[in-house]
Amino acid sequence: MNRLIAAAIVAFSASQVNAMDSLSELKWKNRVIIVFGSSAEPTLDRQIALLARQKEELEDRDLVVIRVSGGEALPVHGNASGLNADAIRKDANVSGERFQTVLVGKDGGIKLRSDRIVESVAIFDLIDTMPMRRAERG
């Protein structure tokens, strides 16, 4: 079922590619998971904790994880500098402090958007279906 949902998200997002200019430093080097939300919202911390437990999987897929809360955008896995929370929100079309998880591909396009917690395996399965990931694996 998760794979079916992931496939539907890929099909939808392939036609809805948004450029994440605010993350241009990472383009073609890293995939990025951005977790948006209020610091008072437990789902933000739960999503970050789910991802943080998968360091090897994150590194294997060249993932940077960024937490955007309030006026701050902080990397919680991987290296990223010069992050601007407002610019990231604008590029990702996320308003206010609502919870949302966004996956950005190496091409800078949005590949997944969810207002619910996304299991790490669903994210990894989605990435593993992408042509660039398949080429990386040989």
Give residue-wise pLDDT tens across range 27-38.
999 999 999 999
Q: Kindly list the domain boundaries of the chain, sorted by start residue.
A: 2-137
pLDDT at res. 29: 96
- 1: Cα within 13 Å, side-chain hemisphere: 1
Cα-to-chain-centroid distance, residue 126: 11
Q: What is the pTM of this model?
A: 0.86
pLDDT at res. 12: 44
pLDDT at res. 127: 97
Mean pLDDT throughout 52-64? Answer: 97
Query: Any idea which fold 2-137 has?
Result: Glutaredoxin (3.40.30)
CA atoms of 86 and 5, how far apart (whole Å): 29
Mean pLDDT throughout 118-128? Answer: 97
